[in-house]
Structures are given as structure tokens and as C-alpha cells.
Amino acid sequence: MSAAESTLSPADLLEQLGVDVDPELLVLALTHRSFAHEAGGIPTNERLEFLGDSVLGIIVTESLFRRHSTQPEGELAKMRSATVSQRALAEVARTLDLGRYILLGKGERRTGGREKDSILSDTVEAIIGAVYLTHGLERTRRFVHTLVDPLLDAAAGLGAGLDWKTSLQEASAEAGLGAPRYESDSEGPDHARVFTSRVLLAGVVRGTGRGTAKKHAEQIAAEEAYVWIDQQRVAAAEPSEPAASA
């Protein structure tokens, strides 16, 4: 596979990464589907991205669990969401000047693909997947920490900056569930009214909240639904560790 469509050779990236990666896996990690299509349907980085997303999630979750021993599950989930968000990982990619190494098709290059958050963040995850397959979990953990430790340090503040409805909207979109839909009703006299809110994802109720204000009830419902999405994501993770290559 040629790296002619990137502005630098993938081998030049190794010094930036600070870790050896199997050469074929590294090129694969940098191969966007637009390039693969123009090259006749060669493999893309999407499977590595899928693996890397899971590995990254496990490492970040463990780190937040240990760093914030008194935080409840919901707050840890928000901090993780902020740490591994598309925007945050794209900034990690920019510190590595990663965009110059990505193999893109002509159309993506014309439309500024090297600076798109979605492409940059996906490539970071694909590289994490390549490091994992090359070295196993322990070395990958050290590599991931070199990338995201500044984000972990700021995670509490990043998470606190997201209200539950905003967090749920972002998580629902990433999970392919569309925009959350809220339904609310109330009971009781005007001076003591209680609201019950339900949030539906893809037409299914995933969170319910009660409160003396509709806004509060919706936030509680959104938190419950967010935790549900997060649990599905964690359940889909946990890859088995491969034997480290010689």
C-alpha cells in the first residue's frame, strides 16, 4: 500500500508517537475509507478504530475510577465522555500533527479532511488499536496515558461543564440513536405540583425522572438514559488481550 496520498510517510509518525507499531498495522490505521475506495476497495482503518475505541474506553474508565474514588457512576460517566469525546481526541491528533499522515481520497483532501474532527479522532482510536495489537494492553495503557493525561487531569472540570441533557444528546448521536425525545406530565395542586418526565431514545423509554420542576425531572431522566448508553458501550468493549508479538 502506497502512502503517496499523505504528505509524509507513515514511518515518520513513529517518532511522534514514541512507540513502535507493526508497519502494516500503522499504515492500516492511517487509511481512511475515502482513500481505500479510490484504491480499489483495500481495507480501511474502521476495524482498528472500533478496537481502539474499546481499549481507550477501558483505560480511561479505570484511570477515572482510581483518580476519583468518591465520585458516583454518573459523574464518572460524564468525565469519561468529556475525555474521549470527538473534540478532545481531535485536539490530541493536532498535537501530533496527525492530519498530515492520514491517507485520504481526493474528495476528502479537497474538503479539508485533514482538519476534520471526526477523521482526526477516528484515526487516534485506530492508532490505539494498532498499538494494542502490536504490544498488548500494558504497553498500550502507557501509550494512551501519554496522549490523554492532560485530558484526565481536566476531566472533572470538563464533565461538570456538561448538563445531563446536553451530555445525553451528544452520547445518543454518537450511538446512532438520534435525538432524545422528552415526554412530561404532572400531578398535584399548583402549589405542590410534581412532574414526571420520560426520555425516549429511538422510540424506547430509557430514563424516567420526577421533580418539582419540569426541567429538573428532565435532567434526572436524561442522567438515567445517559448511564444506560454508557453501560451498553462498556458491555460492548472488553476485548481479549492478544499475545504480545516478538
Catalytic positions: 53, 125
Cell 482503518 found at: 45
* SS3 state at 13: helix
Work out the widest C-alpha separation in the chain, in whole angstroms: 72
Please enumerate in sequence order all residues whose Cβ is within 8 A of that of 70, keeping only pairs 6 or more positions apart, or say none.
Answer: none
Helices (H), 44-115: 46-67, 73-83, 86-95, 106-110
What's the full length of the chain, in residues? 246
Distance from C-alpha of 207 to C-alpha of 168, rounded to nearest angstrom: 11
